[in-house]
Amino acid sequence: MTKLLTTTEALELIKAGKIGRLGCVDQDGPYVVPINYLLDDGEIYSHALPGKKIDAMRTDPRVCLQVDHIHDDLHWSSAIAFGRFEEIQKPECRRVAMTKILSSFPKMTPVESMIVQDAAAPDSIIFKIVVERVTGVLEG
């Protein structure tokens, strides 16, 4: 049986997760990458090194984050948050966001850990998705 999730249920699914698939669009079309994220107070926080997804989101801020919990082909749920990419640039705001992010997923790659020690380092891109709409489906 397939049923649509309410906005509250979809947000709960996203809040319970830590890995989602970020969708964005560049000049060639859609681009999807797995990211660690944190849903806090209705906004989605994450960070990244410079690269294709950051270039894409800076050019076209329309993004989505898809999160699922898949038990098997007949029992799964998936939610998607649609919103806008917003880079967090003020040093104090960066520190606050990074502290939130680190409390949620302390494991980082060595490169990221080095950057995090100095949240002011220009290479460390901290961003949020300002969520505009959330939908979801449950199968099972």
Do residues 140 and 13 touch, judged by C-beta distance below 8 A?
no
Distance CA 23, CA 94 (A): 23
34 is an interface residue for its own copies by CB under 8 A: yes
Q: Which residue in 140, 51, 54, 125 sits closest to 94, CA to CA?
A: 125
Rounded CA gap, 55 and 59, in Å? Answer: 6
Q: Is residue 122 at the binding interface for its own copies, with CB under 8 A as the rule? A: no
Instruction: Verify binding: residue 105, its own copies, rule CB under 8 A.
Output: yes
Residue with tokens 């947000």: 11
Q: Is 24 in the site for its own copies (CB under 8 A)?
A: yes
| Tokens (6 digits) for 130 | 């300002």
Residue 80 interacts with its own copies (CB under 8 A): yes or no: yes
Q: Is 58 in the site for its own copies (CB under 8 A)?
A: no
Nearer Cβ to its own copies, position 106 or 122?
Answer: 106
Of 5, 79, 96, whose CA–CA distance to 45 is shortest? 96
Least distance between its own copies and beta carbon 15 (Å): 18
- Residues binding its own copies (CB under 8 A): 2, 19, 21-25, 28-34, 36, 60, 62-66, 68, 70, 72-74, 76, 78, 80, 82, 105, 107-109, 111, 139
